[in-house]
Structure 1
Amino acid sequence: QGSGNPAGAPVIVWLSYNVHGNEPSSSEAALLTLQALTDRSNTDAQQWLKNTVVVIDPCLNPDGRDRYVNWFNSVAGKNPNALLAAREHSEPWPGGRVNHYYFDLNRDWAWQTQVESQARLALYQRWLPQIHVDFHEQGINNPYYFAPAAQPYHEVITPFQRSFQTTIGRNHARYFDARGWLYFTREIFDLFYPSYGDTYPLYNGAIGMTYEQAGGPAGGLAALTRSGDTLSLADRAQHHFTTGMSTIEVASQHAARILTEYGNYYRTSVTSGQGTYKAYVVRSYPGDAGRIEALKALLDKNGIRYGHARSGPARGYNYDSRREETFTLSASDLVVTSLQPKSALVRVLFEPDPKLVDSATYDITAWALPYVYGLRAYASRDRIEISSAAPARTGAPATSTADPYGYVIRWDGLPAVRLAASLMRAGVRVRFSERSFELGGERFERGSLIVLRNGNAATANLWNTVRRLADSARVPLVPVTTGLVESGGDFGSTSVRALTAPKVALLSGDGTYANAVGEVWHYFEEQLQYPVTLVNSNSFGNIDWSQFNVIILPNGNYRFLNDKAQSEALRNWVSKGGRLIALEGAVASIAALDWGIKLKKPDDGGGDNKATAALLRRYENRERDELPNVTPGSIYRIELDNSHPLAFGYPGYYYTLKQDDRNYEFLREGGWNVGVLRKERPLAGFVGARLQERLQDALVLGVQDMGNGNVVYLTDDVLFRNFWENGKLLFANAVFLVGQ
C-alpha cells in the first residue's frame, strides 16, 4: 500500500513455469528446484531461505501441457528419436502452447480473460513479489536467453529495475560460463507490451524477467540440433534449474536493497504518481454503462483504484481529437488517479500513446483502455480528488412487474447481447428495430430489442422468463404500454424485424490460427453461453451445411477455397440465405476469388530509384528494412455507417486495432462499406512510414449482399485476445443482426 516493508521482512521470489504447455522442460525444472530448496543438506539453499520466500507455480497451463504430453506419448517410440524429421518433433494443430480455449496465457496477464489467469492473478495480487521469473522455451537451435532484456523498455521501468536485471544476468553467466553453456542477452525479448510474465510484474514494482531455453515442441526427449549436439529434456531442465536457483541466490544476497527499492517504488507512486498525467477521466454517456462496468471489472482484477469526482471544469488530453481541451466533469464520470500504489500500471494501461524507443518490438504497440473499451476519455495533468462512493443512479427505470405491452432493451453492449442470446435459447421471439424511435419520452437507438406478447404465445410465463433472464444478465428492461411510437417506426412496422436464432458453425483445424478460433469459441461459450459448432476445415466438402445459417471463418489460410467446386458450394450456400463471416486472413482468402472484395495493389511509386535502393541495402539491416512497411499493432479511428445493422449500437466511428498491411478496395455492386479508413493517421502505436501512406481510403468492415444471403468482412480482429471490448458488440451484430 505504499508504506514500505517492515524490518526483517523477507524478499519474495515467484517462479512461474510452463505457461506455454508445449514448452515442457520448465515444469521439470520446477520439480528440481523444489527438491533442492527442501533438501536440508543443501546448505546454500538453506542459507538463502533465511531471508527469502520462494513461490513456485509449476504449471501455469495444465490443459496445454496435458495436450502436448498426451500427444507426445501417443507418437513416440520405445526410444527417443533425435532426428527432427521424426513425427515426435512435429506437433499437430492446435498444439499445446495454448490453453483449453486456444488462448496464449502469456498474453493474458493484464487482461485476465481466462480462468487460469484470473485465479493466478488473484493470488499474485496478495503476494506482490519483488522478483518474478517466467520460464519459457524457444527455437530448438537457439542458445539460452536470460536478462537483461532487449529494447524497447517502457518508460515506467525504473533505473533500479533495469540495472538489477544485469546484476542477475551476470550471476547466471558465471554458472553458464563454468559449464561451457551458450547464452545470449539483450536481444529479441523486449519489455513493452504490458501483458507478459515479465512486463506485468515490472509494472507492479517487481524485477520481472523471461528466461528462454531451446526446445519447445520440437524438443521431445532428445533432439539433434544444427550444431550436431543432441539436446535432451534433462539438459533443458537443468539449464532452467540453474537460472532459477541463481535468481534465488541473487535475491537473497541483495534482499535489503531489493526491499528498500520496492518500498520507495510504492511510496513514490502514492505521493507523486507516474508520468505527466495525474488523472484519467472516463466520461459517462448514455449507452456506455455496460462498457464502463466491464472496465471497472478489469481495474478491480488489477487492484487499480478508481472513483468519482465533483462536477466542475477540468482540462485534459482528448483521446479522440488528440488535443488538449477544456471539459466539464460530471459526478457520474469515472476517474482513475495516478497517485496510487498501482501508478505505473495505471500509466501503462491508460497513457494515450506511450513512447516507443525502438520500433522493432515483439507485440502490439497500442492498448490504451479508452480505445479498447470504446469510451470517451481525457488524460489530465491536474490532480483530481476522487470519492470511492458511487454516484446516485439515474436513467434506467426499475423493471415493472405489471403486465406490459412489451419490453424494450437498449442494444449498447455485451450484456444486451448476452440477454438476447439467453432469450432465444429460451424460445422467446425477439425483434429489433432498424430505425431509432421515441416512446414515452425516451429515445431508443437503432438495434434496440423488442419483446412482445405477439409471437410468444407458446412461451409459458413469458414476462417472468424475460425478467428473470434480464436480471441474470444485469440488463434493465424498459416496459412499454403501447406499440404506437411518437417518432420512428411503430412496433408493427416493416422496420421492426424478428431475429432468427443463428445456428453457428466455426471452422477450425488445419489452415486456421488456433488463437483466432479460440477467440470466437470463448466468445460464444463463455461470454454469451450460446451454442457454436466447431467444424474441421478439412471436412468442408463432407458437411451438410443446411444445418447452419451462419458460418464463421476465423483468421487463417483456407486452401479448400482454392478448390473451385468447394468455393462454389460455399457461395451457393450464401446465396440461398446463409451468412458467412470472414475475419482477417479469411478475407484475404476470399479476395483471391471473384466474389467482389479485392485487395488494393501496392503503390510502386519511386520506380527505378526505389528498386536500386532495395538492391543496395545492407545485410545487417535486413530486419529493420521491413519496419517502414509494417505495423505490429496500432489503433486507428475508422468512420462507421451506423445506419447499417453491422454498426448498430455505435457512434459514427470505431477504434480498430490494425496488425497487418492488407488494404482492401471499397466494395462496389451489392456491397456496403460500413467501416472505412479515410485519410486518418493512427491514434496510437507504431506504423511504418510507407505503410502509413498506403493505409488510406480502405475498407475495414463491410457487408456484401449475395443472393438471399450475405458475406460479412471483418478485416481486423474485433475480438483480439478477447480483451478488445469495443469489438464485441460489432461481432454480435455480424452474428445476430446482419441479414435479418
Structure 2
Amino acid sequence: MTRFLFSLFLLTASFLTAQSLKSPSEFLGYELGTEFTRHHEVVDYFEYLAEQAPDMMKLTTYGQTNERRPLLLAYLSSAENMSNLEQIREEHLKDLDENGNGSKAIVWLSYNVHGNESVGTESSMQTIYELLTTKKSYLENTVVIMDPCINPDGRDRYSNWYNQYKNAPYQVDPNSKEHNEGWWSGRSNHYMFDLNRDWAWLTQVESQQRLKVYNKWLPHVHVDFHEQGVDNPYYFAPAAEPYHEVITDFQRDFQVTLGKNHAKYFDANGWFYFTKEFFDLLYPSYGDTYPTYNGAIGMTYEQGGSGRGGLGVITSIGDTLTLKDRIAHHHTTGLSTVEVSHLNADKLNTEFRKFYQNKNFKYKSYVMSGNADHIESLKQLLQKHQIRYGVPTSSTVKGYNYQNGTNGSMSVSNNSLVVSTNQAKGTLVKVLFEPDAKLSDSVTYDITAWSLPYAYGLNSIASTSLIPESTPTSKTITNTINNQVYAYIADWNSMNDAKFLAALLKSGIRVRKAHHPFSLEGRSFRRGSLIITKGDNQNNADFESNLTAISKAFKQELVPASTGFVDSGKDFGSPYVAMINDPKIAVLSGEPTSTLRFGEIWHFFEQQLKYPITVLDSEYVNRVDLDTYDILILPGGRYGAHFNEGQLSKLKEWVSSGGKLIAMGGAIDGIDGDKGFGIKKKETDEEKTNNQPQPHSNGQRERIKNAITGAIFKAKVDNTHPLAYGYGSDYFTLKLGNASYDYLNSGNAAYLVGENPKQVSGFAGSEALKKIGNTLVYGVENVGQGQVVYMVDNPLFRGFWENGKLFFANALFMVD
C-alpha cells in the first residue's frame, strides 16, 4: 500500500471511529454528572473506547491496588503517532542526554489521587471522549497519557458510600448525611495514606507502580486534578510562592501561559477562579512538584466540591454547585492544557532539553556513611527514582557536614555512598538531598524540610566538588547454622533488624535481648543485640532451617558463639539478657484518631514490619477486655477530652497491671498530667502584649510565628535506655508543630536541649522556638508494672523518616 493510500486509510478510519463512538452518557446509560460512576464502570468505558478506536488509543494496566482494583493508563494521539508510539518515547528520552530530536508534546493527565475528590474521574471520561472526537486535532503533534483514577480504592469507598446514603434524587442541604462522610473518608488509599504526598517517598503500591511508567515517559506537562472546599471556586496555575529555586523561568512562564488560556474559557462562561494562592511549589512529593523537578510543567488544578459536594450542594452564598458544574470545569482545563501544549510543542521540547543540561548547583556530590541497612534502604529508593549512585574512591571527603552544620571532613569507605548532581536526575538529587531548602516565602502548604541524609540517619557531607565514584558491589551474607553453636548474635540498629526479629517471632523462634553491652570471643556487642540460643529453641524441630531461611531473606549476619560465658558484660543466663515476648498488639481506630496517623501505623505493621495487629475501633473499645493485649497504641489525633474519667481509670489500671501504652502526638493530650498520667505540658511565659494595633492583613504572618512547618531539629539521645537502643548520641527529628512537654522524672530517651533550640532545616516561627526548648521528644514512664511510651514527634510520618522507625520498634520489643 502506498504512503498516500495508507494515510487516507488512517484518516478514513479515524473519521468513522469519531462518528461511531458513544459518549460517556450514552455508554453508561445515565447522563454524566447525575450519578457517581463506580471504578469498574469507568474501566468498562475506557476498554470500550480502546476497542472502538484502536488506531488512536492504547489502554494498559500498570498495576493494581491493595484491594485488587486495576490501575489504568490510556495513551491517545493521532493514528500516525500511535503507530510510532515507542519511537516517539525513545526519541523524547534522548533529550535527557541532549541527543534527542523530539517534536511531540507529551501531556500526562492524572485524576482522583484523592478518592473523594471524585469529579476528576468523571471528567476524565468526557475529556478522553472529546479528544478522540471533536478535539482530535490537538493530537496531531501531542501524545496524551491519561490516568483516570490514581486511587481507585479511595474513590470506590467514596462513591459506594455516597450511592448508599444519598437522598433520591439528591439533597442540596449541606447538613444532610450525603454531604458528611464518616471518619474513614474516601480521600486516602487502602492504608489511609495520602497518595499526593507519596510521589517522592514511594511507600505505597500505587505510587511505586505508577512511577515505573512515569519514568519511561517523563512528560513535558503533568496535571494533577483535585478538589477543594465547596465554597472555593476553581484554582489553576500559576502556583503560589514559595517556588523552589531549581524551577526554571520557562516553567514559571509556561504556567502563566496555561493559566491565561484557562481564564479565557472561564471568563467566557462567567465561571469564578483564582491563581497564585495557597498551592506552592516546594515540597517534593506532590503530583505537581515531583514532575516539575523532573523537567515537566507540573500543576495542580483544584475544583470546589470534594467529599461534601455530592451530586449537588448549596454553598455559603446560596448558589447550587452540582457535579455537572464540577465536571465542566475540570473538563475545560483538561482540554485547554492539551490545546496549549499542542500549540507550543516545539517550545516544550526545546526547554525540556535545556532543563537536563548541566546545572551549576552549589553542591556537586552528596556523600553518606553510617548504618549499612540505612544505606541499603536509601539505595532501594534511589533505584526506584532511577537516580544513579556509586562508591567514593577516595578515603576522605570535605564539605558541609550535616551532623554539626559546619564545613569539615569525613572518612569514607567501600560501604559509603555518593550521589552526584552530574546526572539526568541531578535536579531531583539536589532537591531531595540538599541540607536546607531555600524559602522565598515562609507561608507554605506543607512541610519545609525532608533532606534524605537526615531522614535516613546517615553521616553526610555535601561537597562543592564532584566526588569520584566507582560502581558499588552487592553485599553477600553467608551464615552456617549447626548443632555445635551455643547461640547466635545479631545486631539491633535498624528497621531491617526489626523485620528480622518479627519474622523470627512469627516462626516460633525464641529470641533474647541484651540490656547491657558485652564482649565475647573477641567481638563487642551493643545494647539491644539479639541473642538466639540453641537452648531456648531445643523443642523447635524447624529451628535450624527457619533460622537459615530468615537470616538469608533479611541478609542478616549471625555471629556464632560457642559459649554463654561473656568476656565482659552480662552472661546469657542473666536477668539482663531478657526474653523478647511475642506481644499481642492492638491499635485504636476511629474518632478521635487521625486517619493518616492510624494509616501510618497500620501500614507499618502489615507492609513493613509484617507483624500482626488487632484494630480496635473507638465505638466499641470500651467493651473490649484490654487484658487480652500486651500493647495498646493510640495514634495521633484530636483527643482533647475524648477519654472520660472512667476510661482513663480503666486505662491506667491496665497499664499498672503490666500493659504497655504507646501514645503518639495528639494522643498525649488525652492522657497528660491533668488527666491521669505523669507527662506534663511545658509551661511558657506569657507573651508580652503588643499594644500597637496590627493591620488585619498581617494576621497570617503573625500566626506563622507560632508554627513549625515540618522542620528538622537535632535531639540528644540517651542510648542506654531501651527506647533508644541502636542509636547514637544524637537524632535528627522531624517536628511538625510546637507541642511541648516537660522532661519526665526519668526515662527521657530523646529530647531537645536549650531554651531556644535552632532548627537545622526547614521553617520554625520565632515564638514556636521559644516553646520547644528543653522538651521531650521520646520517653517512657513506668506506671506500676507497666509502661507508657510517649512519642511527641511522629517517627512514622508518611512512612519515609527511615531513621525514626527503630524508636517505634524499640517501643514494641525493647521497652519492658
Which TM-score tier does this pair reach, normalised by the shorter chain? Answer: over 0.9
Aligned 8 A contact 2:397 2:461 in 1: no
Tell me, yes or no, if structure 1 residue 418 matches structure 2 residue 499.
Answer: yes
Question: Which whole-Å deviations, capped at 9, do the CAs of 1:534-591 have from their partners, x for residues lacking one?
Answer: 1111322111111101000000233675411110000000000000000000112211
Aligned 8 A contact 2:648 2:671 in 1: no
Aligned 8 A contact 1:561 1:567 in 2: no
Q: Which moved more, 1:445-454 or 1:589-598?
A: 589-598
Tell me, yes or no, if structure 1 residue 402 matches structure 2 residue 482.
Answer: yes
Which residue of structure 2 lines up, in the alignment, with residue 191 of structure 1? 281
Aligned 8 A contact 1:637 1:654 in 2: yes
Which residue of structure 1 lines up, in the alignment, with residue 515 of structure 2? 434
CA drift at 1:225: 1.1
1:65–1:696 distance in 2 versus 1, CA, 3 Å: same
- Within-5 A mapping of 1:566-645: 566-591=647-672, 592-606=674-688, 610-613=689-692, 616-645=693-722
- Within-5 A mapping of 1:86-485: 86-268=176-358, 273-283=359-369, 285=370, 288-390=371-473, 398-403=478-483, 404-485=485-566
- Within-5 A mapping of 1:510-549: 510-549=591-630
Aligned 8 A contact 1:274 1:343 in 2: no
CA drift at 1:198: 0.2
| 2:469 aligned counterpart, secondary structure | coil
| 1:209 aligned counterpart, secondary structure | strand
Tell me, yes or no, if structure 1 residue 14 matches structure 2 residue 108.
Answer: yes
Aligned 8 A contact 2:592 2:642 in 1: no
Aligned 8 A contact 1:274 1:339 in 2: no
1:5–1:247 distance in 2 versus 1, CA, 3 Å: farther
Q: How far apart in 1 are the matches of 2:464 and 2:348?
A: 31
Q: Which moved more, 1:417-426 or 1:641-650?
A: 417-426
Question: Which whole-Å deviations, capped at 9, do the CAs of 1:386-415 have from their partners, x for residues lacking one?
Answer: 222428x5xx86311332211111001111
Q: How far apart in 2 are the matches of 1:242 and 1:124?
A: 24
Residue type at the aligned position of 2:308: A
Q: How far apart in 2 are the matches of 1:660 and 1:537?
A: 25
Aligned 8 A contact 1:274 1:344 in 2: no
Residue type at the aligned position of 1:140: V
Aligned 8 A contact 1:308 1:334 in 2: yes
Aligned 8 A contact 2:372 2:415 in 1: no
Aligned 8 A contact 1:4 1:260 in 2: no
Instruction: Give structure 1 regions of 4+ aligned residues with deviation exceeding 6 angstroms.
Output: none
Residue type at the aligned position of 1:678: V
Structure 2: which 5+ runs fail to align? 1-93
Aligned 8 A contact 1:560 1:567 in 2: no
Aligned 8 A contact 1:156 1:274 in 2: no
Counterpart among 746, 752, 760 of residue 677 in structure 1: 752
Q: How far apart in 2 are the matches of 1:7 and 1:600?
A: 62
| 2:732 aligned counterpart, secondary structure | strand
Aligned 8 A contact 2:478 2:552 in 1: no
Q: How far apart in 2 are the matches of 1:699 and 1:560?
A: 22
1:707–1:282 distance in 2 versus 1, CA, 3 Å: same
Question: Which whole-Å deviations, capped at 9, do the CAs of 1:503-561 have from their partners, x for residues lacking one?
Answer: 11100011110000000000001111110011111322111111101000000233675
Q: How far apart in 1 are the matches of 2:465 and 2:169?
A: 67
Aligned 8 A contact 1:507 1:536 in 2: yes
Q: How far apart in 1 are the matches of 2:413 and 2:535?
A: 41
Counterpart among 712, 734, 741 of residue 657 in structure 1: 734
Tell me, yes or no, if structure 1 residue 506 matches structure 2 residue 506.
Answer: no
Aligned 8 A contact 1:311 1:331 in 2: no
Which protein, 1 or 2, shows the higher relative CO under an 8 Å CA cutoff with sep ≥ 6?
A: 1
Question: Which whole-Å deviations, capped at 9, do the CAs of 1:117-166 have from their partners, x for residues lacking one?
Answer: 00001110011101000000000010100000000000010111111100
Residue type at the aligned position of 1:282: M
TM-score between the two structures when normalised by the length of structure 1: 0.95
Q: How far apart in 2 are the matches of 1:387 and 1:539?
A: 58
Question: Which whole-Å deviations, capped at 9, do the CAs of 1:320-353 have from their partners, x for residues lacking one?
Answer: 1000113334233100011111111000000001
Q: How far apart in 2 are the matches of 1:716 and 1:193?
A: 19
| 2:327 aligned counterpart, secondary structure | helix
Identity of aligned residues (%): 47
TM-score between the two structures when normalised by the length of structure 2: 0.86
| 2:173 aligned counterpart, secondary structure | coil
Q: How far apart in 2 are the matches of 1:246 and 1:463?
A: 64
Tell me, yes or no, if structure 1 residue 692 matches structure 2 residue 765.
Answer: no
Q: How far apart in 2 are the matches of 1:562 and 1:346?
A: 46
1:566–1:8 distance in 2 versus 1, CA, 3 Å: closer
Residue type at the aligned position of 2:215: Q
Which residue of structure 2 lines up, in the alignment, with residue 734 of structure 1? 811
Aligned 8 A contact 1:397 1:478 in 2: no
Aligned 8 A contact 1:307 1:390 in 2: no
Aligned 8 A contact 2:634 2:667 in 1: yes
Q: How far apart in 2 are the matches of 1:14 and 1:481?
A: 61
Counterpart among 170, 179, 185 of residue 80 in structure 1: 170
| 1:31 aligned counterpart, secondary structure | helix
Q: How far apart in 2 are the matches of 1:85 and 1:328?
A: 63
CA RMSD of aligned residues (A): 1.4
Q: How far apart in 2 are the matches of 1:485 and 1:160?
A: 66
Aligned 8 A contact 1:446 1:648 in 2: yes
1:480–1:69 distance in 2 versus 1, CA, 3 Å: same
1:274–1:233 distance in 2 versus 1, CA, 3 Å: farther
